[in-house]
Amino acid sequence: MANDWWKNAVIYQIYPRSFRDSNGDGIGDLQGIISRLDYLQTLGVDAIWLSPVYESPNVDYGYDVSDHRAISKDYGTMTDMEELIFEANRYGIKVILDIVYNHTSDQHRWFLEARRSKKSRYRDYYHWRPGTSDGPPTDWVSAYNTSAWELDEQTGEYYLHMNSRRQIDLNWENPDVIREVEDMMTYWVRKGVSGFRIDQLGHINKKKSLPSYEEFANKHADPHFKIIKDEGAHPYIRQLNEAIFSKYGMMTVGESTSSTPEEALLYTDPDRKEVNMIFSSEHLQAKEKEKKQTDASDVIKLKKVMEKWQKTLENKGWNTLFWCNHDEPRIVSRYGNDREYRAESAKMLAATLHMMKGTPYIYQGEELGMTNPVFDSIDEFRDSKSLTEFQQRYFEGNEEKSKILEGLNETTRDNARTPMQWSDAENGGFTDGTPWIKLNGNYSHVNAEQAVMDPDSVFWFYQKLIQIRKTHPIVTEGTFDLLEREHPSLFVYTRRFENKLLLVISQFGEGEAIFDLRQQNLSIKSGELLLANYPADQTLPEESIRLRPYETRIYLCGQ
């Protein structure tokens, strides 16, 4: 097996809690995943990435790990996990595990020991500091918009948590921490996994001197990210690469949402021996999450961001291609139209992304064109971040409830976490029990059973995109060029490889638009239409192409 199998692969992300419940407790589980491997094989994906299934008090649903080598009872047993890895491999599907190494749960044995006494051998696994006359050691703010320091009453010192109060940052300057992480990764390598998705990849190095935001603010536009995202992480990642990733041929993808393409190169340039690729979400920020309508400036910004990433990583490093994950609202509700043009816009978005250079990731339900649900009251939310935000804005900020809910409906991570819609049966066929989070009511007509039966569904469109990638090396190898950079709604690009040209034309919007081939000096006469999301006219246009609302077309031609 070539070590860079992931360059030509498509990876499917599973959020196990919401995928498929096999035992009726309302929570998705490992046996549920095993029961749907045939569905994933039909779709054609090469690997699944599982969001964390380790033991966890679920403050952040698994991203607060209390034992890295134990499976949470919510999801099953270690035997189920071994069975999943074995069965998935039998279906030709590799398993990628989520590694959370920046922090542990406050219920992790190391932290329970560490907080017992200043003399504990685990004390130095975390960051402890005495307070100052103002309280916390520094003015650092957590991702939950609170102080990043929490006072531990028993020992009188503060501990650092850049996420929730119950996710405590590990101290990577302590060689024992690195050794523990290496051992834990080796444990999973031995279980037969093929790679790792690494949570908060570059946040592990904390500045020793603990500079204040104020000190930093003079020098950097965003002191928060400057502090957590530190170049000092690179040597640690290289050390892991040598000890684990390269040694065992693991595929690696790191989460690094705020990275620039230049920073991405530092992580992914193969000569630097760190990770294979990273997830940055710059393209998702082209339009503000709260904003409902996508306008021309958003489309132009999106194109330019995509172009910058494609170009910077064209010859060195490697891109991830993704629209969705468990932290982001559904893409069809964001850049598409999740009502009148749900299927058209879901397909258009998929084609636009999948024909670029990089490894595509599909997040569960994206292949069905799943949409954001409507959350009517705060009781329907499960995401700790949204619940904290509500508390802060309602009780401390005295904002109106309806206004906060309106905002949260657009931004909440729960948008991605409603259960997978398998059929039009009760609870969308997700569970026989009471689902841990509400379903999106549209499961009556947006569901896997119907999609698999309908050759024109979003599901089969994704399947075809995967097949195109597998059949035509140009998708993996070709150079990328953006056309129509300033056009308000057309997203057009070419890929070129050997003597072939791939042309992707997408209309981001409800109006019509004309793409002028002659003006671009392009001829597709000798080509073929590989895929389109409207009934296709097989005669190849010579002069121009009129695109209907959210239309997309992929042409392959000789050059």
Q: Least distance in Å: CB of 63 to ligand NOJ?
A: 3
Closest residue to ligand NOJ using C-beta atoms: 63
Q: Give whole-number Cα distances, 425 to 33, 94, 415, 434, 449, in Å.
A: 19, 30, 21, 14, 10
Residues 404-463 that bind ligand NOJ (CB under 6 A): none
383 binds ligand NOJ (CB under 6 A): no
Residue 322 main-chain phi, psi, to 5 deg: -150, 145
CA gap 39, 42 in Å, rounded: 5
How far apart (Å, rounded) are the C-alpha atoms in residues 253 and 268? 9
Out of 199, 274, 414, 484, the only residue in the binding site for ligand NOJ (CB under 6 A) is: 199
Q: Does 160 participate in binding ligand NOJ (rule CB under 6 A)?
A: no
Any catalytic annotation for residue 255?
A: yes
CB burial string 368-393: b at 16+ within 10 A, e below? bbbbbbebeeeeebbbbbbbbbbeeb
Convert residues 100-119 into a mask of x (bound to ligand NOJ by CB under 6 A) and - (unbound).
Answer: x-------------------
Catalytic residue selected from 46, 64, 255, 484: 255
Catalytic residue among 21, 60, 199, 367: 199
Which one of residues 163, 333, 352, 552 is an interface residue with ligand NOJ (CB under 6 A)? 163
Helices 233-240, 175-191: inter-axial angle, 10-degree rounding: 40
Which residues, 312 to 341, sit near ligand NOJ by CB under 6 A? Answer: 326-327
Q: What is the side-by-side strand order in the sheet with 320-322?
A: 277-279, 251-255, 195-199, 94-100, 47-50, 11-14, 359-363, 320-322
In the complex, the smallest distance separating the C-beta of residue 199 from ligand NOJ, rounded to whole angstroms, is 5
Distance (Å, whole) CA 336 – CA 329: 12
For the bound state, the minimum distance from the C-beta of residue 461 to ligand NOJ, rounded and expressed in Å, comes to: 27
Q: How far is the CB of 96 from ligand NOJ (least distance, A)?
A: 14
With vertex at residue 113, the alpha carbon angle to CA 110 and CA 118, rounded to the nearest 5 degrees, is 115
Token representation of residue 338: 């999740």
56 binds ligand NOJ (CB under 6 A): no
- Comparing CB distances to ligand NOJ, the nearer of 167 and 533 is 167
- What minimum distance in Å lies between the beta carbon of 61 and ligand NOJ? 8
Tokens 């056009």 -> residue: 487
Q: Are strands 11-14 and 47-50 parallel, antiparallel or unpaired?
A: parallel
Per-residue contact flags (x/-) with ligand NOJ for residues 61 to 100, judged by CB under 6 A: --x------------------------------------x
Question: Is residue 200 part of the contact set for ligand NOJ (CB under 6 A)?
Answer: yes
Active site residue 199: yes
Quote the CA–CA distance of 348 and 552 in Å, as a whole number.
Answer: 5
Work out whether 255 is an interface residue with ligand NOJ (CB under 6 A): yes
Residues ≥6 apart with Cβ < 8 Å to 472:
500, 502, 530, 556
CB of 62 to ligand NOJ, least distance (A): 8
Q: How many residues bind ligand NOJ (CB under 6 A)?
A: 9
C-alpha triplet 265, 362, 9: angle, nearest 5°: 60
Catalytic site positions = 199, 255
Contact residues toward ligand NOJ (CB under 6 A) are 60, 63, 100, 163, 199-200, 255, 326-327
